[in-house]
């Protein structure tokens, strides 16, 4: 059931992405062009961004990057990938930090800054505004 | 045996009691044990649960303390780092520098701010509105104190951050050590309670931070997060406030904070409570099961005990009944061979009577078998019979004559009842009963006096012999024997003499017979012979002759030699009758014929004989109504004084004017009346009529006469005789001296004493008595003298031959002489000739009656006779 809801939610998000009408901006998940990974499932992405996994499925180290707190794209990303609102994300990280099990990803000021950092670091993974996309990074296809 | 039984009984009783009492007791003990263990386990569980709760609390407290300490440490570190950065880079350069270095705490959790000495926030991460915090306690604290420590403020809200936050602050100093502002790390109070886990703390557990000032900085219980309330720092106080919870509080080092962990007792003990309930249920179910099983077992044992009691009662009843019984009881179990055939019976129980009957002891009997005890049982059908009873079931009864030496009884009655796996034989010694039966049978069929077969057995034997003869075409001879003169012996010498005579005669008759012949006493002095003849009747004649002669031999009874003869009538099967009744009747008729022909002879039946019998029957038939129909009349024969020739009295004689046969003489109907008992009524009628007649004559003016009335034996024996006589006299107004009763000497001799007494009573009335037919019977001459009589009458059989037979003359003159010596008068009857009269007169006889003077006359004729003057002289 929960799975079904996740799927529905994902479908909805994908629809939104494709149509590009409702949301202010569409995000894309990116890695360095040197990174061999090209496809990830949403839960795999979420695991990396929620500090639950430090590695790509292939075994390579994965370091996520965040956009600044309060950015719409960030909320959009987490609600899509991890099905968490901003408040839930805050509660999540509060607990993770307090219990010492993890730290939130490093924040960068803008999609461009993120893209630049990702481009140079094959270990990194991030989400950016679709408009900020260029060839220095590779878009990861996120499957449900 | 008795004591043994007692202990047996006691044992049974005890065992029954045991099971009855011990079972519930045992169950009770088990029940107590179950519940003791259950409660003990619950207690242990509770202790464990409490210990576990305490341990868990301590562990959580430790963990939480460590987490808080580390977080505070991190915050403190950040504050120090901020201070250092501010001191190095200035108020504005600090945060970017730290940001670059990645040393800023995650903005999602923490807000970092720098405040200048005027209380204005000059920088913050994440970026926030610049506000004044100059009024805030934490600012003033640092402004006033240079503590060098981190200050923890209660949860606050301000313009920059609308959510409640805890503020951790440190003082900034300028190079001179003056107050230069503060650095702040803010975080949501929920941060410190984010490690709250339902799995460990439940819905009502508690996790929180409490300032040493007693104010709560953060407190979470379930999903509810609160802060700002006062709670105190004393554990007891805290526990009281949060309501009986397990709680622990620890002070953090270097910062004015306590960590608080609380656990809800109910939640903590929920597992225990569940276990406790389970245990209680287990105990209850176990108890119920135990009670159920116990109840079943008890019921079972109770029923068993009841059955045993019932069986015991039955056994005791049986034992008592069989011990007291006069019947022998044998309880036997079958013994079968490999083929299932009953080969023997083992005796398992026997009573005292059984031991007595077999001449053994009860113990010995109970350890033996039927065939050991009675080896003959295998061959004489006893074993087979018992086996058959086993096979057929039910109860079988039989009587048998015992031939076994082992059983001490001649006749046995046995009841055999088949029971499960054996039989019960009830054997009764019926020897005595059988003996009595035999005796009774003998008595029923034999005459007690002579031991000869009686009437009923004779009839049986006769029937039997006839049917035998019928089959073999033989003949049967039936002889009816009547003793002649027996009555004389009986009357004259008494009944004992008569009995003795009969015995002797019976013996003599038996001695004359052949083996196949039968003699029986038919009654009185009558005997019957049954002679079974193969051939002709002629062969039987010598036997009959022998019998006649044997009887004729003189017999000595009561010291006197007497002689009797017998009259024998013979009827022969098949000529004279086809059945026993007819033969006997015809033999009887033949016997009467023999009597008529002068006695002491043998007559064979002829058909004519029945005619006289028929005549008798006709007479008897007529006799019944004769009195009522006035067919009797009296005639009167005058009695004459031999000396004066005067008529001084009359004898009343009865005549029967039969409507068909004319006048019937008394010799024909008096015996019939005597036999049938009608003589009483007839005699009374005669007596009364005679009295009435005599009175009538007197009233008619004739000279008074003494009237004589004959009294028959039966009449004389009538106890009311005296009364009847008195009444006859009174009713007709006749003076007693004008009545005379004539009694035969045989009547008197039957019972001398009573006869004398009766005669005395009659005499006392004034009535005269005379002895009739004197000389024909056996008179005791010695008794004669005591008789209150006035006259002897010489029987006409002596009178008849007077003048011809010297013997009769001698008797007559002797009687006259005897009477005169006894001062009695003598009258002779049946005087018919002048010769007889002259003899009597010469020999001194006083009176006479007879045809010579007058035949019996009707009353009016007699009156004429008396009225005529010539009547006076003979």
Which of B508, B499, B505 minimizes the C-alpha distance to B482? B505
Distance CA B465, CA B815 (A): 53
Contacts of B223 (CB under 8 A, 6+ apart): none
B195 and A CB contact within 8 Å: yes
Distance CA B827, CA B846 (A): 6
- Among chain A residues, the shortest Cα distance to B106 is held by A104
pLDDT given for residue B12 in this prediction: 64
Q: What's the gap in Å between the CA of B246 and the closest CA on chain A? A: 23
Task: Tell me which long-range contacts B294-299 makes (C-beta under 8 A, separation of at least 24).
Answer: B294/B23, B294/B24, B294/B26, B294/B27, B297/B23, B298/B19, B298/B20, B298/B23, B298/B24
Distance CA A54, CA A52 (A): 7
Contacts of B91 (CB under 8 A, 6+ apart): B114, B116, B122, B123, B181
Distance CA B277, CA A31 (A): 59
Q: Which among A95, A97, A100 has the least Cβ separation from residue B106?
A: A97
Distance CA B713, CA B677 (A): 11
Contacts of B247 (CB under 8 A, 6+ apart): B57, B206, B235, B238, B239, B260, B261, B262, B263
Distance CA B95, CA B121 (A): 13
B826, B846 contact by CB (below 8 A): yes
- Show residues of chain B in contact with A90, CB under 8 Å: 108-109, 188
Distance CA B721, CA B683 (A): 10
B304 and A CB contact within 8 Å: no
Q: Which among A98, A103, A106 has the least Cβ separation from residue B67?
A: A98
pLDDT digits (tens, 9 = 90+) for A41-71: 999 999 999 999 888 888 889 999 999 888 8
**Quick check: B188 and A94 CB within 8 A?**
yes
Q: How many CB atoms lie within 10 A of CB B861?
A: 14
Distance CA B301, CA B20 (A): 7
- Show residues of chain B in contact with A78, CB under 8 Å: none
Q: Which strands, in side-by-side order, build the sheet including A106-107?
A: A39-41, A137-143, A27-32, A124-129, A63-66, A106-107
How many residues are present in chain B? 874
**Quick check: B108 and A100 CB within 8 A?**
no
Q: What value of ipTM does the predicted structure carry?
A: 0.80
Beta bridge partners, B526, equal: B482, B523
**Quick check: A98 and B192 CB within 8 A?**
yes
Which structure tokens are listed for B706? Answer: 């003494």
Distance CA B519, CA A12 (A): 148
Q: What's the gap in Å between the CA of B101 and the closest CA on chain A? A: 11
Q: Considering only residues 4 to 63 of chain A, which have any Cβ-Cβ distance to chain B shorter than 8 Å?
A: none
Cα torsion B540, B541, B545, B546: sign: negative
B634, B654 contact by CB (below 8 A): yes
Mutation site for B-interface testing, chosen from A74, A104, A107, A109 by largest number of B Cβ within 10 Å = A107
Beta bridge partners, B176, equal: none
pLDDT given for residue B18 in this prediction: 65
pLDDT given for residue B738 in this prediction: 93
Distance CA B455, CA B447 (A): 8
Mutation site for B-interface testing, chosen from A86, A95, A117 by largest number of B Cβ within 10 Å = A95
Which structure tokens are listed for B634? Answer: 């009296």
DSSP letters spanning B518-557: EEEEEETTEEEEEEEESS-GGGGHHHHHHHHHHHHS-EEE
Which structure tokens are listed for B185? Answer: 């790390």
Secondary structure (3-state) at B108? coil
Secondary structure (3-state) at B298? helix
Distance CA B568, CA A96 (A): 159
Region of residue B216 (phi > 0: left; psi between -120 and 50: alpha; otherwise: beta): beta
- Show residues of chain A in contact with B194, CB under 8 Å: 91, 94-95, 98-99
Kindly tell me if the per-residue pLDDT of A17 is higher than 50: no
The residue to which tokens 């045996």 are assigned: B1
B200, B60 contact by CB (below 8 A): yes
Q: What's the gap in Å between the CA of B289 and the closest CA on chain A? A: 46
Cα torsion B74, B77, B83, B89: sign: negative
Give the DSSP H/E element, type plus range, for residue B646: none
- Show residues of chain B in contact with A103, CB under 8 Å: 106
pLDDT given for residue A57 in this prediction: 87
pLDDT given for residue A16 in this prediction: 46
Q: Tell me whether strands B847-848 and B825-828 are parallel, antiparallel or unpaired.
A: parallel
pLDDT given for residue B693 in this prediction: 93
Torsion of the alpha carbons at B137, B140, B146 and B148, rounded to the nearest 10: 30
Beta bridge partners, B225, equal: B220
pLDDT given for residue B354 in this prediction: 85
Contacts of B205 (CB under 8 A, 6+ apart): B196, B221, B222, B245, B261, B262, B263, B264, B267
pLDDT given for residue B245 in this prediction: 66
Q: Tell me whether strands B739-744 and B768-774 are parallel, antiparallel or unpaired.
A: parallel
Q: What's the gap in Å between the CA of A101 and the closest CA on chain B? A: 11
B63 and A CB contact within 8 Å: no
**By percentage, how much of chain B surpasses pLDDT 70?**
94
**Quick check: B190 and A91 CB within 8 A?**
yes
Enter the DSSP assignment of B176: T
pLDDT given for residue B635 in this prediction: 92
Q: What is the pTM of this model?
A: 0.47
Distance CA B804, CA B816 (A): 18
B345, B369 contact by CB (below 8 A): yes
Give the C-alpha distances (Å, rounded to integers) separating B480 from B462, B466, B519, B583, B604: 13, 16, 10, 10, 10
Cα torsion B279, B285, B288, B294: sign: negative
- Among chain A residues, the shortest Cα distance to B109 is held by A94
pLDDT given for residue A46 in this prediction: 92
User: Does residue B112 have a cis bond before it (omega within 30 degrees)?
Assistant: no
Give the DSSP H/E element, type plus range, for residue B842: helix B834-842
Which of B333, B355, B354, B337 minimizes the C-alpha distance to B345? B333
- Among chain A residues, the shortest Cα distance to B74 is held by A98
> pLDDT confidence of A21, banded at 50, 70, 90?
very low
Kindly report the backbone phi and psi dihedral angles of residue B180, in degrees, each rounded to the nearest multiple of 5, phi listed first: -125, 10
Which of A129, A105, A139, A143 minimizes the C-alpha distance to A6? A143
C-alpha B51, offset from chain centre = 79
Distance CA B624, CA A76 (A): 158
Kindly tell me if the per-residue pLDDT of A5 is higher than 60: no
**Quick check: B67 and A95 CB within 8 A?**
no
User: Does residue B739 have a cis bond before it (omega within 30 degrees)?
Assistant: no
Mutation site for A-interface testing, chosen from B109, B186, B192, B200 by largest number of A Cβ within 10 Å = B109
Q: How many CB atoms lie within 10 A of CB A41?
A: 15
Which structure tokens are listed for B120? Answer: 């204005």
DSSP letters spanning A84-132: --HHHHHHHHHHHHHTTS--PPEE-SSHHHHHHHHHH-TTEEEEEEGGG
Which of B852, B850, B848, B799 minimizes the C-alpha distance to B826? B848
pLDDT given for residue B32 in this prediction: 93
Q: How many CA atoms lie within 13 A of B679 on its CB side?
A: 20
- Show residues of chain B in contact with A106, CB under 8 Å: 102
The residue to which tokens 């270990």 are assigned: A123
- Among chain B residues, the shortest Cα distance to A92 is held by B194
- Show residues of chain A in contact with B187, CB under 8 Å: 94
**Quick check: B109 and A93 CB within 8 A?**
yes
Distance CA B135, CA B171 (A): 15
Query: Which parts of chain B register pLDDT below 70?
Result: 1-6, 12-18, 233, 235-236, 238-245, 534-539, 609-612, 777-780, 869-874
């Amino acid at each position: 059931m929960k799975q079904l809801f996740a799927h529905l939610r994902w479908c909805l998000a994908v629809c939104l992405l494709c149509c590009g009408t409702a949301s202010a901006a569409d995000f894309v998940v990116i890695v360095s062009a040197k990174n061999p990974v090209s496809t990830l499932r949403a839960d795999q992405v979420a695991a990396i961004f929620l500090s639950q996994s430090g590695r790509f499925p292939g075994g390579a180290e994965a370091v996520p990057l965040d956009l600044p707190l309060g950015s719409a794209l960030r909320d959009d990303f987490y609600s899509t990938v991890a099905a968490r609102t901003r408040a839930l994300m805050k509660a999540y990280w509060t607990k993770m930090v307090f219990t010492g099990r993890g730290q939130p990803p490093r924040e960068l000021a803008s999609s461009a800054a993120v893209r630049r950092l990702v481009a140079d670091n094959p270990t990194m993974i991030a989400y950016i505004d679709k408009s900020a996309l260029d060839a220095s990074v590779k878009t990861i296809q996120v499957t449900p | 045996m008795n004591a043994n039984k007692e202990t047996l009984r006691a044992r049974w009783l005890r065992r029954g009691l045991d099971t009855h009492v011990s079972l519930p007791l045992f169950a009770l003990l088990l029940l107590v044990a179950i519940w003791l263990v259950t409660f003990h386990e619950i207690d242990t569980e509770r202790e464990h649960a409490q210990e576990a709760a305490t341990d868990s609390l301590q562990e959580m407290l430790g963990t939480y303390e460590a987490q808080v300490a580390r977080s505070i440490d991190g915050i403190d570190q950040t504050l120090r780092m901020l201070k250092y950065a501010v001191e190095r880079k200035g108020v504005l350069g600090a945060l970017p520098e730290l940001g670059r270095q990645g040393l800023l705490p995650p903005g999602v959790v923490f807000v970092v701010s720098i405040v200048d000495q005027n209380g204005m926030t000059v920088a913050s991460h994440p970026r926030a509105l610049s506000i004044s915090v100059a009024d805030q306690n934490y600012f003033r604290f640092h402004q006033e104190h240079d503590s060098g420590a981190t200050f923890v403020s209660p949860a606050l809200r301000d313009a920059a951050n609308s959510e409640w936050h805890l503020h951790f602050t440190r003082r900034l100093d300028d190079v001179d050590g003056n107050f230069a502002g503060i650095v702040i790390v803010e975080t949501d109070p929920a941060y410190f309670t984010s490690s709250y886990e339902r799995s460990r703390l439940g819905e009502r557990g508690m996790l929180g931070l409490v300032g040493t000032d007693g104010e709560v900085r953060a407190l979470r219980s379930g999903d509810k997060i609160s802060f700002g309330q006062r709670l105190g720092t004393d554990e007891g106080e805290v526990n009281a406030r949060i309501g009986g919870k397990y709680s622990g509080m620890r002070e953090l080092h270097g910062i004015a904070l306590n960590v608080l962990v609380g656990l809800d007792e109910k939640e903590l003990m929920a597992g225990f409570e569940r276990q406790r309930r389970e245990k209680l249920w287990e105990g209850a179910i176990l108890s119920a099961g135990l009670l159920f099983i116990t109840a079943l077992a008890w019921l079972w044992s109770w029923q068993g005990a009841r059955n045993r009691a019932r069986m015991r009662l039955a056994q005791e009843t049986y034992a008592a009944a069989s011990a007291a019984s006069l019947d022998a009881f044998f309880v036997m179990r079958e013994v079968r061979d490999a083929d299932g055939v009953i080969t023997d019976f083992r005796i398992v129980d026997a009573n005292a009577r059984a031991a007595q009957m077999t001449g053994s002891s009860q113990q010995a009997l109970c350890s033996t078998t039927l065939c050991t005890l009675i080896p003959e049982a295998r061959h004489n059908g006893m074993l087979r019979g018992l086996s058959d009873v086993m096979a057929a079931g039910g109860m079988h009864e039989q009587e048998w004559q015992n031939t076994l030496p082992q059983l001490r009884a001649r006749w046995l009655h046995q009841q055999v009842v088949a029971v499960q796996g054996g039989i019960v034989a009830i054997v009764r010694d019926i020897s005595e009963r059988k003996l009595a039966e035999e005796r009774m049978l003998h008595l029923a069929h034999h005459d007690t006096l002579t031991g000869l077969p009686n009437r009923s057995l004779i009839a049986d034997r006769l029937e039997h012999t006839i049917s035998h003869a019928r089959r073999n075409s033989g003949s049967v001879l039936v002889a009816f024997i009547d003793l002649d003169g027996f009555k004389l012996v009986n009357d004259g010498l008494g009944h004992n003499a008569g009995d003795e005579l009969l015995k002797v005669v019976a013996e003599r008759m038996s001695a004359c017979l052949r083996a196949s012949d039968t003699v029986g006493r038919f009654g009185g002095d009558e005997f019957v012979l049954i002679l079974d003849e193969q051939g002709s009747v002629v062969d039987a004649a010598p036997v009959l002759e022998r019998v006649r002669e044997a009887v004729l031999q003189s017999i000595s009874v009561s010291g006197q030699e007497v002689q009797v003869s017998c009259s024998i009538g013979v009827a022969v099967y098949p000529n004279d009758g086809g059945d026993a009744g007819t033969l006997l009747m015809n033999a009887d008729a033949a016997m009467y014929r023999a009597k008529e022909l002068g006695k002491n002879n043998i007559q064979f039946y002829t058909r004519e004989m029945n005619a006289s019998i028929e005549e008798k029957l006709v007479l008897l038939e007529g006799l019944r109504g004769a009195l009522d129909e006035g067919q009797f009349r009296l005639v009167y024969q005058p009695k004459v004084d031999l000396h004066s020739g005067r008529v001084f009295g009359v004898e009343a004689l009865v005549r029967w004017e039969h409507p068909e046969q004319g006048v019937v003489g008394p010799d024909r109907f008096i015996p019939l009346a005597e036999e049938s008992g009608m003589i009483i009524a007839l005699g009374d009628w005669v007596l009364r009529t005679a009295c009435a007649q005599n009175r009538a004559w007197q009233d008619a003016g004739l000279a008074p006469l003494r009237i004589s009335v004959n009294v028959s034996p039966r009449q004389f024996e009538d106890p009311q005789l005296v009364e009847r006589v008195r009444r006859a006299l009174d009713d007709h107004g006749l003076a007693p001296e004008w009545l005379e009763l004539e009694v035969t000497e045989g009547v008197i001799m039957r019972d001398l004493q009573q006869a004398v007494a009766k005669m005395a009573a009659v005499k006392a009335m004034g009535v005269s008595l005379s002895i009739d037919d004197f000389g024909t019977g056996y008179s005791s001459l010695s008794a004669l003298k005591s008789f209150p009589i006035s006259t002897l009458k010489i029987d006409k059989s002596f009178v008849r031959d007077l003048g011809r037979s010297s013997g009769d003359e001698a008797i007559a003159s002797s009687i006259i002489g005897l009477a005169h010596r006894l001062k009695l008068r003598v009258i002779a009857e049946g005087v018919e000739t002048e010769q007889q009269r002259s003899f009597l007169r010469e020999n001194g006889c006083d009176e006479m009656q007879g045809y010579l003077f007058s035949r019996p006359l009707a009353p009016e004729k007699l009156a004429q006779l008396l009225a005529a003057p010539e009547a006076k002289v003979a």
